[in-house]
Amino acid sequence: MDKLLIEGGLPLLGEAAISGAKNAALPLLCAALLTREPLTLTHVPRLNDVDTMLGLLEQMGVRIFRETGSGGDTVTLDASGLDNPVAPYERVKTMRAAILVLGPLAARAGEAKVSLPGGCAIGARPVDQHIKGLAAMGAEISVLHGYILARAPRQKDGSVRLSGARLFTDMVTVTGTENLMMAACLAAGETVIENAAREPEVVDLADCLVKMGAQISGAGSDVIRIRGVASMHGTTHRIMPDRIETGTYLCAAAATGGSIHLTGASAGSLDAVIDKLTESGCKIAAEADSITLAAPQRLASVSLRTSPYPAFPTDMQAQFMAINAVAEGTAVIRETIFENRFMHAVELIRLGADIKIDGNTAVVRGVAKLDGATVMATDLRASAGLVIAGLVAEGETVIERIYHLDRGYEHLEQKLTALGARVRRLR
Ligand code: UD1
């Protein structure tokens, strides 16, 4: 298994280009299932999760054409031959987002067999809201041998199609909202999703669906209305910049006392993160598609609480724990989205951080320095927190199990190296 060796202590300086967003790319790839015509996506990041999703779609009968370019890949998906609406356990267990095929499959193929994701490192993460929503749209659902089986109802006109419905999710769920929004595109009648996720990735997906002929309004608010159409068509869509990758590089520069310029980045979707970095003493300037950050000599600690968008994202919590580990003062971090999402804390403590965990609250007392050590990555964003800590720590830090990072950060070592970090992959 690959490891990452970081020699810490150097400030990040220079420029890096931000990739297309993983969390937008995954649902957008699934949107191809909704039409017989080709869907072309540009600025697709080269990530293991994208490969996993493409492999899954290919297994279902989707033809895939991938061109490598300097600003991410261009991927064309042709789902005219969709003949196997099944997502097997082997795929879903490595990537929970595979659940995103459920809605589009039930909508277009009229049936779907998708493995339950099971537990994952950051908590139970059930998919009951996805199932509840599809059931409200008339799907006949059963759960058998670890698989969700969904079948669309027969309509009065004889067609097999989901029915539009009023949906309310018990909590804000991002992939739940995306799954139900995609399912509703081809349903008979109008669907209203209340308590919808407002994340920018939901909006990016809605924008593409509208270009494909869907009738959607309200994406970006907590009530999304979808008027079902009989069929959708192909289009070309550029994937939005990755706001979590952007935030991670900003944090890495902030923690190392650096100064960076991120191109192809959008500050509009990062208000909560930029606000906290400013509070910590960083100077940030945002332009239409770039962000510049200059860090102070030493950061001030910043307390935060994770919540659904537009509040502070749970996917940036680990990175801010790393920042706070070396900041001046004491920070209180509350995680309200996922239970068990503090696994990076014990690893940061191995590097010399002073962190106390009590339930969903972490109290981080900033220390003057961290010391390199061997640590283990436990999930994607936890790993990003450890990379930041490794860049700050004195001496060598070895991060084990970096396959988590390969799921979500395109060309991480290359980008960090170009910014002056000493980072090497050990195979
Ligand atoms: C998405 C993101 C992930 C991010 C998360 C929260 C993708 C591919 N992944 O994950 O990076 O960390 O949003 O911003 O976009 N829940 C239920 N039942 C459900 C659905 C969710 O109980 O049916 C709970 C979850 O366990 C969690 C909370 O709702 O506690 C929010 O989860 P959700 O927004 O669904 O996360 P994901 O969409 O899986």
Q: Write out pLDDT tens, residues 330-381.
A: 999 999 999 889 999 999 999 999 999 999 999 999 999 999 999 998 889 8
176 CA distance to ligand 1 centroid (A)? 7
**Quick one: pLDDT band at residue 269, thresholds 50, 70, 90?**
very high
Which residue has a Cα nearest atom 4 of ligand 1? 315
Minimal CA–CA distance to 238: which of 43, 67, 388, 3?
43
**Quick one: pLDDT band at residue 94, thresholds 50, 70, 90?**
confident
> For residue 132, which amino acid is it?
K
> For residue 166, which amino acid is it?
R
Q: Write out pLDDT tens, residues 183-211.
A: 999 999 999 999 999 999 999 999 999 99
**Quick one: pLDDT band at residue 256, thresholds 50, 70, 90?**
very high
308 CA distance to ligand 1 centroid (A)? 10
Minimal CA–CA distance to 319: which of 245, 248, 404?
248
Length of the chain, in residues: 427
Mean pLDDT for the stretch of residues 51-76: 94
174 CA distance to ligand 1 centroid (A)? 6
High-pLDDT (> 70) share of the chain, %:
98
| Ordered strands of the 39-44 beta sheet | 63-67, 73-78, 39-44, 236-238
Within the chain, how many helices (H) and strands (E) appear?
14, 24
Q: Is the CB of 128 under 6 A from ligand 1?
A: yes
Q: Is the CB of 175 under 6 A from ligand 1?
A: yes
Burial 288-313 (b: 16+ CB within 10 A, else e): eebbbbbbeeebebbbbebbbbeebb
Q: Write out pLDDT tens, residues 207-237.
A: 999 999 999 999 999 999 999 999 999 999 9
